[in-house]
Chains A and B, each alone.
Chain A
Amino acid sequence: MKDAMLKPILLVEDNPKDLELTLLALARSNLANEVVTVRDGKEAIDYLFRAGPYLDRPEGNPAVILLDLKLPKMDGLQVLERVKSEPNLRAVPVVMLTTSREERDLVLSYKLGVNAYVVKPVGFKDFIDAIQELGVFWAVLNEPPPGSLRPDRIR
């Protein structure tokens, strides 16, 4: 796979420490994908819909969205709902990255069509392992053909 063909990973994370740790974890997983970071739900939507500051970004959807649950302005569940109700974006895998173990968040996320749900472990090693696994699976192994919809895997 050539770099130019790789779609970026969209990381939505408001907490700078989590952001740094997640970026580190992604860096250690030797992924070639570019990581685009946005800091709240609104910005994520702008990016995905090429609006606001992202009006001019090149076309194309990310390979995977790593989405924090608790976000300013628009929380992760709302972003997820927008993504999964947009035909053009529905095929983009979304992975919830969250601190919460609360059942209702989990249930809601699956209802909205999340592709994976990861509770961030306290242990750093575990965290890195989790991120690596995710990144490799969704960004590399599981990359859907560009533009094609794979509804069988979405819900």
Chain B
Amino acid sequence: MLMERDATGALPFAVDTSNCDREPIHQPSSIQPHGVLMVLSEPDLAVVQVSMNSREYLGLSPDEILGRPLGRALGDDVAEDLARGIERMEVGSRPRLLRIVTVEAGGRTWRFHAVGHRVGDRVVLELEASDGKPILDFHPTVDRFTLEVEAVTSIPELTGLMAREARRLTGFDRVLVYRFDEGWNGTVVAEDGNGRLPSLLHHRFPASDIPAQARELYRTNRMRIIPDSGYSPVALVPSEDRASGARLDMSFATLRSVSPVHLQYMKNMETASSMSVSILRNGELWGLVSFHHREPRTADFPIRVSCDLMARVFALRLSGLEHNRGLERRMEVRSACSRLVAVMADRGDFVSALKDFPEDLLGIADSTGAAILTEGECLLLGETPTEEQTRALASWLFAEGNQDVFLTDSLPGVYAPSSQFKGVASGLLAIAVSKLHPSFVLWFRPEVIQTVKWGGPPEAKARVESDGVVTLHPRTSFETWKQTVRDRSVPWRSSEVEGVTDLRNTIVGSVLRRAEELASLNAELRRSNKELEAFSYSVSHDLRAPLRHIVGYAQLLRESAVGKLSDNDERFIATIIESSEYAGNLVDKLLGFSRLGRSELQKVDVDLGVLVREIRTDVMRDAEGRDITWTVGPLPTVRADLMMLRMAVRDLLSNALKYTRKTEKVVIEVGYRDEGNEHVFFVKDNGVGFDMEFAGKLFGVFQRLHRWEDYEGTGIGLANVRRVIERHDGRTWAEGAENLGATFFFTLPRRSRET
């Protein structure tokens, strides 16, 4: 490889030496010996600096040239011709070929390519010695290359073509197309060679091989050549411009001498000559075309210009191909996305839409597996981790928080438990659907085990000497150093990330819409609750009043007609009164029941032991003289609405008393057991019991399993119990058998869940 290793190169992961900034790689004040460099002042074109080798090429020592007009060195005719060319050069333009210059010196005839460019107010004139062959017309070569480039349809094809044509044009032993990745590591993506130099195809070179400063030079000056790495540098005299005292900026000088470190590097690579042409895409360094030859070799300036032209054609086509490939993928992603969006909109539910179109779901991200996690569900599609692993992953993502879209091509690197399932999910792309719950759509990609060939171990490059000085040691061996890259998936493309981001927006939109619908349902519910309240309010007034009147007037009738009524008449009136009172009672009970469902819970700590004793004393007033044995076990303290719970316990205890009325020796047992997350309470009696067939009816409103004459009551007690317990997130049920007693159970959640 041709590597400008003039700069220090940082120790990877360690020191970032500032030598980079200190070493003026563009100001060596020396040149390679395959030509002469002169710095001219304007407008007189007098020589202000010249390379020490002027005598060899021009037959004149620097002293004989310095301070003299250019014509002194090259003859007036040539100088005048060059002056015309120089006049046309624009400031800041790249070196251009001005003309061929022939000079007789040292008993031979030299043919030079005279190349000029401006640096500040100076003109740099370089006379590059050529082999004397006439300048070829490279137009057909570039033309053919352009035609071929237009025909290729893939990037590998294009890079292959570039390497082949560049070698055909230059005749170097080996031509490489070298591409930078996002971390500025380089990979040889194409190669053409005659076998005289080892193949480096697919080799990687660490970013430190070409430090940032050298890369910047590659970007601004697209061409470099070192015809013979064994050269001895030739100094400029004077080394500084006398007028300014500054060293010449040689960034664009084609003869510029390179760092000895770089020459060592070339020797390690067994190449005597090298050349490179930068490939820029959108103004950024994309890669290099790199030329090597075992023996010293050069390529004339016009050939190098042709190579540069080819590299630019290459870059244009590359952009086009990448753009097309990106577009195609984008189209695929978009159409999959819009299909899913349409189904989602149609169904109003993203889960079922995604589930029923797995091909589009997987296709969007070009993934092998996907998972949809919502509050309750975990749907797995394709090749995925297990449900348990997926849920754990989602919890981790949720805990990490905040990112709407998360992606990695090395999940084991950020989430260690995933090494268990890296075979299916080394790559993860995730979109968060909710800020409140771990709801996600996840895409997985399997591990891709890559073997990467490095041009030597990527870390071994510089070492720190005992005195603390960092010394560069170009690798002495370019034997392939293999590294197996594990725990990685194929990286996610930007089009895919955009696709899932779109999808996320749609999902979040639809989730929001549902939330709005729920909110409006809630509002409706509140409205109808209000109506219900108004209804029961008017029932309590309007229905009770006439019942009271019936009772009142019937009473008055009985009084005013006393002595005039038969026994039957008396019985009729008594029934009117009794029924109306009963109806009033029912209305009251019903309203009480509806109030239980509506009123807010006011939870306090309730010692159930105390509550049960208190209620027992109370209900026993109606059971004086009966033979009743109470067994009340220890009872816990619970968190509940005291009023409601009192009502429920009272109903249960008075039921127990009521339905044991015909039992001789009554035993009533109250107790509880602890079942982890809830308390289970029971009230057990040895009364009439009930037929289990009707157990389901027991807790209904106005449900009765016994005849009026036997057991009075409105049949609302157990409905109240159930409502109270359900309001406390508990359950109610009953067990029993006819004439064998009944046991009523209810549960209350343990304290941890209580507020």
Interface of A with B (CB < 8 Å)? 15, 17-18, 21, 24, 70, 99-103, 120-125, 127
Contacts and interface: CB of A to CB of B under 8 A. Distances in A.
A121 B599 CA distance: 24
A115 to B, nearest CB: 22
B116 interface: no
A101 B540 contact: yes
A88 B544 CA distance: 36
Interface stretch (B275-283, B338-346, B378-386, B547-555): B547-555
28 contacts: A15-B545, A17-B553, A18-B545, A18-B548, A18-B549, A21-B552, A21-B553, A24-B556, A70-B541, A99-B540, A99-B541, A100-B537, A100-B540, A100-B541, A101-B588, A102-B537, A102-B540, A103-B599, A120-B548, A121-B548, A122-B551, A122-B584, A123-B551, A123-B581, A124-B556, A124-B577, A127-B548, A127-B552
A122 B540 contact: no
Contacts of A100: 537, 540-541
A99 B540 CA distance: 7
B32 interface: no
Interface in B518-559: 537, 540-541, 544-545, 547-549, 551-556
Specify which of B537, B551, B595 lies most central, judged by the most chain A CB atoms within 10 Å of its CB. Answer: B551
B472 interface: no
Max count, chain A CB within 10 A of own CB: residue among B545, B588, B595: B545
A127 B537 CA distance: 21
B551 A101 contact: no
Interface in B570-614: 577, 580-581, 584-585, 588, 591, 595, 599
Contacts of A125: 555
A122 B580 CA distance: 8
A11 to B, nearest CB: 16
Closest CB pairs A-B (n = 9): A122-B584, A124-B555, A124-B552, A21-B552, A17-B549, A99-B541, A99-B544, A122-B548, A124-B551
- Name which of B537, B551, B552 has the most chain A CB atoms within 10 A of its CB: B552
Contact of A99 (B545, B554, B556): B545
Overall SS of chain B's interface: helix
Given A18-B549, A21-B552, A122 B537 contact: no
Contacts of B588: 101
A64 to B, nearest CB: 22
Contacts of B544: 99, 120, 122
B203 to A, nearest CB: 85
A27 B221 CA distance: 120
Contacts of A99: 540-541, 544-545, 548
A70 B537 CA distance: 12
Nearest to A101: B540
A99 B581 CA distance: 14
Nearest to A21: B552
Contacts of A121: 548
B545 A101 contact: no
Contacts of B541: 70, 99-100
A15 B541 CA distance: 12
Nearest to A16: B549
Contact of A17 (B540, B552, B591): B552
Nearest to B548: A122
Contacts of A24: 556
A51 B704 CA distance: 57
A122 B591 contact: no
A119 to B, nearest CB: 9
Considering residues B540, B556, B580, B584, which has the most beta carbons from chain A within 10 angstroms of its beta carbon? Answer: B540
Contacts of A15: 545
A124 B558 CA distance: 12
A116 B545 CA distance: 20
Given A102-B540, A122-B584, 4 more contacts: A17-B552, A120-B548, A122-B551, A124-B555
A21 B547 CA distance: 13
B572 to A, nearest CB: 16
A46 B554 CA distance: 35
B719 to A, nearest CB: 18
A15, A102, A120: which has the most chain B beta carbons within 10 Å?
A: A102
Contacts of B551: 122-124
